[in-house]
Every structure is written in structure tokens, then in C-alpha cells.
Structure 1
């Protein structure tokens, strides 16, 4: 009996060993199959006929070292060459039958809407939630969007099997005769934030942008002189409008080319020699603009490269070892060509002080792919231009059209030459929010549309939308009727535009903190409501609205108004579980309802989440470069007892030092218990070059009822009612940023 029991015990032990969790490595290899568990919700599936797998990066899959640690998943041998791999989110069944991963040997089980679902790599997708398009050039109405990685099915797959490798910093075609399969399976169920985090894990996080990119731009396709550029800046200052960046479109360079492909029937599209008839002393002009705290960028259509009419041509051809009488085609496949191109086409202007380039690539019809590769020319140029901009410890800075998955690593994006009409405005609202689903986080649009008939009301509504986007940037075609300087219209329209331009300036601390959040989490700045509120069905049904960061809900008006005030309406759904406050009127709207909100031309549906601190600054003419010497905090009441913390982020705004931890965060804590509110500004943590050691504070307390008194660090003060803001304010004198500020008051509603 004892012998029989012993045998049974040994048998049970052997069975237990056979099915034990035995993670040995990541990736997992079975002959010619390799599975890499990148995150709990992302798998890489490879099949190589010769058993030699790809470890070199591609433009999309640039982060090969990110893998789930072996102690965070289990592998069980089920017998008969079958295995079960389990992560915190997935249960994977795989049968090693010697064939590529397929519906016969692979099944992945995940939860969606509380029920178990089955994923296979057949890639039949029905419910994608949309993603970015490459460009809106000549688009006049809504068009189908490309895929993002977010889907109501709870999964998405990217096939990278034909993508070129990046070896020693350059494109190298892969061996597609042996490497037959290279699939990235995002399987996330309802957890859209996990999907976006997985995108960052395999493709790299979106880098921090130069802070001034998120400011106010002036751009126009017009041949301005030096004096006219300076007068434009003076006009912004004289008329009380902020400005951070000024763009020189094609008029900055000469237009006397006689050879090349050109564009639109004109040879002169590409150019790198300054037009000294318009701008006699480029460096002096750039220096003058810089002294006023404004950056300069240049338009660039590089498809014709350097041609005989350019000043730099002879030196460039000598560096190339080529004969001057045989001009070279633009060749992004050649490391030598591109190195010399940047040295001779770009470097002279950069040495004059040009801050960044606008890569205006429109030549897919000529050069859709880099010669000898499967990589699109736009994708590769975005990579090369971004690299080239990372000089002298500065962050990369590109401004170009979207080139597909992985291009989030080269911000920011230019949406192209869209038509000026109401339908396009409505589509841009939807497109901008959905583009974050695919990693396109920072669109900058042509406010008012690139071409079309003038419509001041449309431009004002477009400006309101773009005030809550990656950048407030005007641009238009060479049409004397289409100058988007905001003071050129009627006084009423100028006042409406001034109000929204000032809003953009005031929101920069919140915007830049939200940009940091996008960098660290891959959650979009402009995003669809289902990313945060996907458990509420209405979040999928309201493409006319979006979240801008964590705290702001917006539904821009996209139809013409009526009457003297041009009043127009927009449908707004308010997510349940929150109280939302109209930024302009302070009216409270409880979540869980839908309203048609009507607004005059100087307002639009913009709501702030109650129970949080919204960091702002006073109006500043150069909002992205001026020091934050006064931190404005707006606090709307919560609908329940809460403790919420928003993190104010600061750094020098331009260098790569943030990658080395040189930045500062300040916890902004809102606590509400019954009617008692405590606001705490915690001491700043961290430091960076140029950090202010002291600042003052202003608290704006709308919708709180009549406030008779408050306490600031234990001292009783009397709040002041500000008629222009229509709320009580509390001023806190300047003090060290390392010192906490605690403000207490009672709601009286």
C-alpha cells in the first residue's frame, strides 16, 4: 500500500513538472518560429526558414531591447508540442508544427467587455477606430481615415515583414527569401492606453518637442521682404497678439533654376540660395527676429537637390567627387549624398541662425520609395531631417507630413494644403483626435484652410479649434485675399480672435505638462473620448468632440452662425462621473448628458473637469519662451469628495537634457471634503538649467459661491472678485519654488 502511494506521488510530481511554469527566455524559440513577448499585450511573431531571426531595428520597430521580463509570464508544456504562454492580459496557445504562425497553430485569448475573445493572425478587422492620413493636400471634404492601432475588436496587427532594416544608421533591405513572417500583434481588449503604451515599447516613445513648437506661428505663401517680416512681428505686438514662430515660405530662396523636375510646372520649387533682392542680409534679419524672442523656420522642397544655379553647387559637387556639368539627382538612398546635402544645402542657413526646417515633401508621384528599398521617401526623409536637427544638444525638430506607423518619433506633423470650408474644419476636428490612435500626436493645421474664398467667421472657428491642438498656426496660399493676420478683419472679429490667441498663451503651462504626459505614457494630447471613457458607449458616438490633455473637453463649432453675434451650436456629450465647467461662463454641467451648446463668435464649447487644478500663466506675448514667474491655478469644484493631483512639468524647453533627468515637476493637489477645499502646491522636485528659484501664484476660483475669506499657509486673507474673470481670486506673493503653498477655503454654493 505504501509502495503504491509512493508511486502515485512520484507520478503526480512528474506530471506537475511537465506542466510547471518554466520561463527560460524571452524571446521564445521553437525551431523556425520565434515569439517575443514585448509587453503583456504585444507579441512579435517571426518565422525564418533558415532559423536566423531579425534583431536589427526597422523604422517602425526601433526598440528591440524592450521585452517582458521572464518572471512576468509563464510557459507550460501541454504535451504533443503544444504550449500555453500566459501574461497578465493574454493566454496564448501555440502548437509547434514547423509551419509559420497561423490560425491552425496559434490562438490568443483575451478579455473584451468582460468576455473571453479569441485572436488569430488572419487580420480580418472590422471595427478600427481610425488613424492619421498622410496629407490633406487638395482635400475638400471628409475622406476615409487610415487605420490606427485602436479597434473595438480589441486588437490590431502590423506586418513589418517587408520593412527595411536600419543598420549602422542606414537602410538595409532584409532577406525576405528566408524571413517570411514578422508580425506585431497588439491584443489589448478594452485597454486602449495599454495599446498605446505597447506602441511606445516597440517603436519608441514620442520625444519631447521644442517648447516653442507649441506656440503661435505666422506662415504664408508670400514673397515678403525683410522689412515686411519685421513689420508683421510689430503688428502682432502692436495689436496685442502673441507670436512665437515665423515661417519663411518659398520666397526666401532664389527662383532662377533652369534644370530639374520642378513642381506644378515650375522649375524653381527647390532652392537653397537666399533671395537677396527680398532679404539683402539674411543673418541680420534672423538676428533681429531672434532678439524679439521669435524663432525662424524655412520651407524646403528638397526633391531637386542642389542644382547648378545654387551658390553652394560647386563646393557640393566637389565634395561628391562629381563633375559639375552633370547635375546629380536627389538621392536619399546615398549616405554620402545626404551627408553632403545637409552640409551644403542646410548648414549655411543654420549657421545664420535658422531654427528648423519645414520639410514640404509633395513628390510621391516622382520618388515614392527610396531607391533600392521598400521604404517610402517621406518616411526616410523624416528620419534624416529629424536626426540632422539634433545638433548642439538640441532636441530634434521636424515639421512634415505623416509617414505612417513609427513616424511619431519625428514630431511635429503638417496636415497639408486643405481646402477652406466648413466640412474640412469638421473633418480636421475628427481627424486630429483619431490620429492619436496611430501615434500621430501633434498635427499643425493651416488655420482657415490653405485655399478658398475668404470667410472670417470660418477662420475664427478654425482658430478656436487649433487653440486646443498641438500648435496655433496660420497659413494660406499666394492669394492677396488670404492673409491670416488676426487683426486685419472687423473690430468684432479681431476681438474674438484676440480672446482665443490670449487663451492659447495662458494655457501653455498646461499644454507643455500634457506634452510631457504624452512623452511618458504615449496617451495623445488631442484624443478621442473612448481612450478615457471607453466604458461609456457614448464615447464612441461623438467624433465632434475630444479631450485636450486630461482636464479639458472641447467640441469646436463647425457650422456658420446666425445674427450679429454669429451664434452657432454644437452637440456636446459630457462623460459620466465628472462635473464639467464652461471655461467662459463657469456654468456647471453634470456628466452623463448631452446638450446642444450655443455660443457667440468669441466663445466655443470648452469645458474644464471639476476637482482639479488647471495650471496656466498670465497673458504673455512670447508664451513659450517667457519664464513662468507667476503660476495661475484655476480650480472648479468637484461633484464629490476627491483628492486629485496634476503634475506641472518644466524644463529648459529646447535641449536634450531632459533625457538625463534635468527637469522639474510640481504636484498640484486639489482636495475637497464636503465644502472644505484645500489646494496645495507641493515643493518643486528636480532642477534644470534656467529654472526659476522663485515665483508668485494666482488662484482663480470660479463657481465657488461667495468667498468671504481663505487661508494661505495658515494666514487669513480676503479673496478678491475679478469682474473680467467673473470669479474670486487669491494672490500669493512670490516665494521659493521649493516652498509649499497651502490654500484653504469653504465652498458657498
Structure 2
């Protein structure tokens, strides 16, 4: 090649490079401008990447309400080839087209995981009251057959959330979280709090929000369902541990009208010796609707609230009290919030009462709310909160209602975060008040990050019918897949008026529906009976010896037998970002048959649950995932997985299977969670595979576990040698058992199932905190 030719080539190359877009390196990644947008890639960790886009040159301030993680130092390799800049961490590769602003996520071998659509970011100028801002839209492209989960709790009966359009605005029975996770092992959180339309069709997958200064989303690479949830918890907060008693049985009604009525319920459970741990006081304990949510007891119907609470505790039960975000016009709270301009001026429940919600977005207002709640209720010694209407209820809706100013902007711009900040205010203030009692919140709505506030979300005022019941399974699973592990539902459905004429709780059709629903609730994070129209206490259905009474008692007792297993699973939620209810793909991702199963799930990592959701069902088909074998809980029959079996379903049987290679601690028969220590704990071993389990114990309440005051004992089963290893105990707490018996039972098809601990065990070992190996 001649010298002149070389010179021309070098000059041409320099010119071409001059046309290439430029970027600026930041401490978290890079910034650039493309397609009239400012674009920023921020690495919060090697696995978590934030993508931030905004109209070019328009300044804005964004402080996330959901994300609490501070970006960690992440080593990045950054390179550019023409208009493509590539950022690599030790976990993920991000390609940014400097010309179009398109972002593509891949694994380190270059296989594409998730991509934006070409020119998929759009900003449409809008007025948000008197502020100029945008409606913001971000579109992506998924693989044709890719399965996704999430979007919160939708009552659509779908497990796979593909091929639909969903309007995401929180309301009763609908929890809207703009989060999805893919079977490919990644998650995406769209960090926007305004009403948002999620769309998935063959052309695109998109989030389209009514208000937003920016397009702001997080890509989370987890590699599995558990991994994605772990990343979401890392980003938005870990889930604290509920007190042990919450995992027992909780009774409610809409509503107990006097303190005597409430106390009689607890006493009747004790007299019947049916287990009970929680009793829930719903609305109007304050009196008239004009005094709505006064956070004080009406002196006529509740003349001695302190005595009532003391009596509940004497009966070894715990009391939830309801509180709402709205206040009646005759309450002190209404007057103070109105004077300080901290009320939102739209109608909330109850109708025609003049009730208005407070500005939950204002931190001072949240403190005022707690001061009243603490003085009027918590200081008396109550145990948990029923934070109802946390969407909130919105009646007589007018478009201008959404223009209401809040501390953080228009109500429209932050509406979906209402439950997050409201629940967070109660949690944070109770924790400031005392660490002796764990915050326990039952609430009707949620948003991303709410798991960090000790909140257990229920599915709202659902109807009492079989179709609605069936939809609760995928609703709860998709909610949990958004990273929020605590979810439950009204046993029997809330609105049961259609069954009243047929005898209410004695109506055979309602008895069947309620009992099947209770069986399902036994295997959810919280087991709670509630509803209107028909009282649901067990004795309303008959007497001991009556079939429906006996079946309910059987499953309540089963719940208590599983408390050591459930409490240990809950510790895994807190300690290892685990989940209690688990979509089947989380444990059996290689089995394509499970990806869209919406009527089965895992309870912890050992129990496969198949609720009976069809009226009069005498048998049910159950798919047992492949690459495992299974034990029928009721018969101990062992079955190879990868096939569908038919299980007879008389009213006292819900199909339940235990994965071979499981260790299940089986609790004693009790009337309440902490009646007996686990000093003679039965350990059931389901052979057929290696197994491990961590038995967790602590004081049962208080936050001392955060200081390391707990006990964890690791069990390991070697299926080949039939040897159980019990490791040295980790950590300790003041009231723990220093020595105890473990009663070992090796489950075989020849052993008949026992709801209570077996009278005959295979071996009993004395454990004093040091490693033991036992051959069975």
C-alpha cells in the first residue's frame, strides 16, 4: 500500500469516528444524549442496572419511594464500537446505542436477555395541575414464547401475564405493581407511581404512565425466580420477621359490635379447645360515622378497652385493631389535619359521612397519625394493625380529585404509592416507639418495597363464589413474585350475601365453599377467617362431630402442626430473601409443564398444594413436577413426578404432596402458638433424595433476632447412607432450649399418616447443641 493511501485511510477513519456519538463516564456508569433525550445507565450492583431517560436538557429531581438501596461500587468494563457502547459487570452486559438510545441487556456470553424496542421511549407533554411534565412510555420486546409473571395482585385468573392490557391503578381487590419477572431469570421494575397501562402484544411490551418526568426502570438479573426476588429485596428492602403467633389461626368478622362480643369469641375457642392466636376488631368501635376512625373506643359499646385487651391476653390471644387513612369530620384528627392543610379533598369511605383521607405523603402528617394511634390504641397494649382502605377507597370519583395537591405533588402523580407510604409511616413510628413487639400490619393494598414494613396484604373484599376463589391462587402467586412475601385472603370470600337465605353458615353450599377456602388458607402466609353477611367462627358451622366442624378443626390443627416448618420458612424469607408461597417454576424451571400452572404451588420448598376450587369435586387432577418424586401427604404413597395423577377429594382432603428429599419438623398439638416449647420435636424425613432444613427459633416476638439472638439448627439427610446429620447450633437466645429431644420418623408407604406426632418413632436423639449423626 502506498504512503498516500495510508494517509487517506487514517484521515477517513478519523472523520468517521468524529461522527460517532460520545458519552461521559460517571461513577455509576455512563451518560449521553440521543434522540433528543438525556440517557443514563447506572449500575447499582453487578446484577442491578438502572436506566434513566428524560427529555434533553430538562432538569428534574427524582427520589424513589420504593428503592432504598444505595448504589454499590461496581467494577465495569466499558468499550465503544462505532455508535454502540458496551458496559460489562461481572454479571451482566449492557449495550447502549448512542444514536437511538436503545438499551439491550445480555448475559456475559452475549445471549440477549431483554431489550428495549427501537425508539421505544416516548415523552408526551402534559399539564399536571400547573406543572409542565410528561406522559411517559417505555416499550420493550420479549421473545415470542417468553413467560412472565408479576404486576401485583390482579383478579384476572392468569399466571402468565402475556397477551393482555392492564390498567395499573390500585383499588380494592387489585394491587398494582409495575414489576415483571421472566422465566429467563431477570426482573424489571418500572419506578413510577402514577396510573400506568401495561400492554403486552406481538408488537411490544410496554409501560405507559400518565405522569413522569423521566423513564426510570431497573433491570435485575437473578438467574431464577428466587434470584430475581432476592435482587428486588436488595433494591427495595428486606422483609422483617412476623411474630410467631401471626402464623397461627386468626379470626375476624365484619364486625364485632361490642367488647363482650369479641371476648366471647375468644373464650368460645378456648372452651372448644380449637386453636386460635389472633382476634381482629374491625370498624366502628369508635361509634358514629361522623367519628370515623377516631382511634378511640366508644364508651358505650367498649366501656373498658384496657380490660378487654388484658382479657384477650389472659386468654393467650392477640388483638388486631383496624385503622383507616380517612377521618370523620367530628374527629380531632380531622380538625388538626384540616388546620394544617393535610387533608385530601375527595370522598372516601363511608359514603355521605364527610370523611377525608390525610396526606400520607407528608412525613409530618404520618407522625401526627401515629401519635393519635399510639395514644388512643397502641398504648393500651394492642398487638397488630388492620390498615384498611389503604388504596384508599375513592367514591364519587371526579377527575379533579386526582389534581389534589399532596406533599409530593399531585395525587395523580403518586397515587399508587399511597399504601407504601401510609403503611411505612405506621411501621417506622411503631419501631421508634418500641422494639419489644414486632410490627404486624394487615393491609388491603401494596406497592413495590412494602415488604420492608411488616405488612401482610390481603386480596380485598372478594366475592364468595367458586370462580373468585379460583382466581386467588394466581393472584397471590404473582403478588409474591413481585418480591412481597406476605399475602392472604378472606376465608370464604368477603361478600357472602347470596348464601344468607339458605341458612348462612349452615347453608351446605356455603359450608363447602368456606371449608375448601380454609384448606387453601392453611397453606398461605396468613390463615385468617373474615367476611360480611355471615359470621365465620367455627362454632357457627355446627358442633364437634359435625363433618364441616371437624374438617375445619382438622386443618386448623394441621396449620399448628406445621408452625415449626412455617416459622423456619419465614426466617428464610427474612434471612435469605426467600418466599413462602412459590410458583412451581421457581423450583422446577426445567419442567416446561409447570410454567403456566395456575392452580398449584409450593408452600415452602417441600409441600405441593392443589386447592379444590370446583363445587362438588370428588376427585382432582394434579400435575406432579418432573425431576422429583412425591409423597401423598395423606397416604404416604410415593409417586414418580413428571405426570398427572388423580386424587380423590372428599370434603376433608385437599391434595397435598411432599417432595421426596424433605425434612419436616412437626409441631405438638397446641391451643395457641407458644403454648408448648418444641422440646420433644418430631422430625419427619421423606426419603428419596438428599435433604436439608434449618430449624429456626427465637423469642417469638421482639426484634432481638436482629441482634443475633436466635437459634438455627441445620439438618442434613444423606439418602444414600440413610444418615441424618444435625449440626452444631448457631447462635442462642435467653429462653431457648439448651437440651431437647428430636423424635425421628422416616416416612414410608407402610406408615399411616398422623395429624398429631406419631406415638412410635424410629429413633429419639438427645440434642445439646453439638453435632450428631444418626443412621436410620
Fold agreement, TM-score > 0.5: yes
Q: Give the secondary-structure state (helix, strand or coil) at the position aligned to 1:494.
A: helix
How far apart, CA to CA, are the structure 1 residues paired with 2:238 and 2:312? 33
Please give the residue correspondences for 1:218-297 in structure 2 after superposition, counting only pairs within 5 Å: 218-255=251-288, 257=290, 269-297=292-320
CA-CA distance at 1:116 after TM superposition? 4.4
How far apart, CA to CA, are the structure 1 residues paired with 2:232 and 2:469? 29
Equivalent in the alignment of 2:330: 308
Equivalent in the alignment of 1:364: 394
CA-CA distance at 1:50 after TM superposition? 5.7
Q: Give the secondary-structure state (helix, strand or coil) at the position aligned to 1:585.
A: coil
Contact 2:727–2:771 (Cα < 8 Å) also in 1 = yes
The verdict on how the C-alpha distance between 1:146 and 1:184 changes in structure 2, with shifts beyond 3 A counting, is closer
The verdict on how the C-alpha distance between 1:110 and 1:739 changes in structure 2, with shifts beyond 3 A counting, is closer
Residue of 37, 41, 45 corresponding to 1:35: 41
Contact 1:134–1:401 (Cα < 8 Å) also in 2 = no
How far apart, CA to CA, are the structure 1 residues paired with 2:595 and 2:649? 24
The verdict on how the C-alpha distance between 1:288 and 1:534 changes in structure 2, with shifts beyond 3 A counting, is same
Equivalent in the alignment of 2:380: 352
Equivalent in the alignment of 1:186: 220
CA-CA distance at 1:397 after TM superposition? 2.5
Equivalent in the alignment of 1:9: none
State the Cα deviation string for residues 244-266 of structure 1 (Å, max 9, x = none): 11111114221262xxxxxxxxx
CA-CA distance at 1:40 after TM superposition? 3.9
How far apart, CA to CA, are the structure 1 residues paired with 2:722 and 2:569? 25
State the Cα deviation string for residues 434-462 of structure 1 (Å, max 9, x = none): 22111232112110111221411111111
CA-CA distance at 1:317 after TM superposition? 9.1
In the superposition, the TM-score normalised over structure 1's length comes to 0.79
The verdict on how the C-alpha distance between 1:422 and 1:180 changes in structure 2, with shifts beyond 3 A counting, is closer
State the Cα deviation string for residues 38-61 of structure 1 (Å, max 9, x = none): 34443102246569896x752211
Please give the residue correspondences for 1:30-69 in structure 2 after superposition, counting only pairs within 5 Å: 30=31, 33-47=39-53, 49=56, 57-65=63-71, 67=72, 69=74
State the Cα deviation string for residues 60-87 of structure 1 (Å, max 9, x = none): 111123x3632xxx41423546432223
Contact 2:682–2:757 (Cα < 8 Å) also in 1 = no
Q: Give the secondary-structure state (helix, strand or coil) at the position aligned to 2:476.
A: helix
Equivalent in the alignment of 1:7: none
Contact 2:558–2:755 (Cα < 8 Å) also in 1 = no
CA-CA distance at 1:557 after TM superposition? 0.8
Q: Give the secondary-structure state (helix, strand or coil) at the position aligned to 1:403.
A: coil
Equivalent in the alignment of 1:488: 541
Please give the residue correspondences for 1:99-248 in structure 2 after superposition, counting only pairs within 5 Å: 102-103=101-102, 106-110=103-107, 116-117=112-113, 119-120=115-116, 122=120, 123-124=139-140, 127-133=147-153, 148-152=179-183, 155-160=186-191, 180-187=214-221, 191-248=224-281
Q: Give the secondary-structure state (helix, strand or coil) at the position aligned to 1:412.
A: strand
CA-CA distance at 1:211 after TM superposition? 2.7
Residue of 487, 490, 493 corresponding to 1:449: 493
Pairs aligned (count): 656
Equivalent in the alignment of 1:717: none
The verdict on how the C-alpha distance between 1:68 and 1:500 changes in structure 2, with shifts beyond 3 A counting, is farther
Please identify, of 141-150 and 502-511, the stretch whose mean Cα deviation from structure 2 is larger.
Answer: 141-150
CA-CA distance at 1:118 after TM superposition? 5.4
How far apart, CA to CA, are the structure 2 residues paired with 1:529 and 1:721? 25
Contact 1:701–1:727 (Cα < 8 Å) also in 2 = no
CA-CA distance at 1:333 after TM superposition? 4.1
How far apart, CA to CA, are the structure 2 residues paired with 1:320 and 1:628? 53
Please identify, of 81-90 and 597-606, the stretch whose mean Cα deviation from structure 2 is larger.
Answer: 81-90
State the Cα deviation string for residues 88-121 of structure 1 (Å, max 9, x = none): 4433223445x7xx32xx3322499x96455226
Contact 1:679–1:742 (Cα < 8 Å) also in 2 = yes
Indicate yes or no: 2:467 matched with 1:433: no
The verdict on how the C-alpha distance between 1:95 and 1:77 changes in structure 2, with shifts beyond 3 A counting, is same
Please give the residue correspondences for 1:487-526 in structure 2 after superposition, counting only pairs within 5 Å: 488-489=541-542, 491-526=546-581
Please identify, of 584-593 and 141-150, the stretch whose mean Cα deviation from structure 2 is larger.
Answer: 141-150
Equivalent in the alignment of 2:346: none
Please give the residue correspondences for 1:344-743 in structure 2 after superposition, counting only pairs within 5 Å: 344-361=372-389, 362-365=392-395, 371=406, 372-373=409-410, 374-376=413-415, 377-390=418-431, 391-393=433-435, 394-410=437-453, 411-452=455-496, 453=499, 454=504, 455-477=510-532, 479=533, 481-485=534-538, 488-489=541-542, 491-561=546-616, 568-623=618-673, 626-638=676-688, 642-673=689-720, 676-703=721-748, 705=750, 729-730=761-762, 732=764, 735-736=767-768, 738-743=769-774
Q: Give the secondary-structure state (helix, strand or coil) at the position aligned to 1:613.
A: strand
Contact 2:155–2:173 (Cα < 8 Å) also in 1 = no
CA-CA distance at 1:536 after TM superposition? 0.8
Equivalent in the alignment of 2:15: none
Q: Give the secondary-structure state (helix, strand or coil) at the position aligned to 1:150.
A: strand
The verdict on how the C-alpha distance between 1:435 and 1:237 changes in structure 2, with shifts beyond 3 A counting, is same
The verdict on how the C-alpha distance between 1:654 and 1:135 changes in structure 2, with shifts beyond 3 A counting, is farther
The verdict on how the C-alpha distance between 1:689 and 1:364 changes in structure 2, with shifts beyond 3 A counting, is farther
Q: Give the secondary-structure state (helix, strand or coil) at the position aligned to 1:252.
A: coil
Q: Give the secondary-structure state (helix, strand or coil) at the position aligned to 1:623.
A: coil
The verdict on how the C-alpha distance between 1:432 and 1:180 changes in structure 2, with shifts beyond 3 A counting, is closer
The verdict on how the C-alpha distance between 1:135 and 1:687 changes in structure 2, with shifts beyond 3 A counting, is farther
CA-CA distance at 1:588 after TM superposition? 1.0
State the Cα deviation string for residues 406-453 of structure 1 (Å, max 9, x = none): 222232112111111111111112211222111232112110111221
Contact 1:135–1:416 (Cα < 8 Å) also in 2 = no
The verdict on how the C-alpha distance between 1:625 and 1:657 changes in structure 2, with shifts beyond 3 A counting, is farther
CA-CA distance at 1:613 after TM superposition? 1.1
Contact 1:457–1:560 (Cα < 8 Å) also in 2 = yes
The verdict on how the C-alpha distance between 1:519 and 1:345 changes in structure 2, with shifts beyond 3 A counting, is closer
Q: Give the secondary-structure state (helix, strand or coil) at the position aligned to 1:622.
A: coil
Equivalent in the alignment of 1:265: none
Structure 1 unmatched ranges of 5 or more? 1-22, 165-175, 258-267, 562-566, 707-719
CA-CA distance at 1:28 after TM superposition? 1.3
How far apart, CA to CA, are the structure 1 residues paired with 2:255 and 2:754? 43
Q: Give the secondary-structure state (helix, strand or coil) at the position aligned to 2:149.
A: coil
The verdict on how the C-alpha distance between 1:739 and 1:273 changes in structure 2, with shifts beyond 3 A counting, is same
CA RMSD of aligned residues (A): 3.7
How far apart, CA to CA, are the structure 2 residues paired with 1:656 and 1:242? 25
CA-CA distance at 1:314 after TM superposition? 8.5
